Amino acid sequence: MMANQKDTLAAILRERANLEWITQSMPILRKKFGDHYIAVRDQKVVDHDQDFEKLLARVRKSPDPETVTIEFVSALELIWML
């Protein structure tokens, strides 16, 4: 099934909101979920695991898996120097 423009825009905005929340919450997430992958839905961590494949399998079984953003949370804050 092909997504229409309205659904596509909603998905992009949902992903953006999740990513912005992850970025803003990173210090707290790092303490709680360092070196884990986190699954975020509606700006809340709904699951986490050190193993990406295991987390992905659980997310795929959840209701509306397309609404979940998965990101890795490093235990260390990385600084890029150019």
- The Cα–Cα gap between 74 and 24 comes to 15
What pLDDT is stored for residue 57 in this prediction? 98
Per-residue pLDDT reduced to its tens digit, 25-67: 999 999 999 999 999 999 999 999 999 999 999 999 999 999 9
Query: pTM of whole model > 0.85?
Result: yes
Provide the pLDDT confidence category of residue 1 given band limits of 50, 70 and 90: low
Q: Return the residue matching tokens 């303490």.
A: 31
Residue 26 CB neighbour total at 10 angstroms: 14
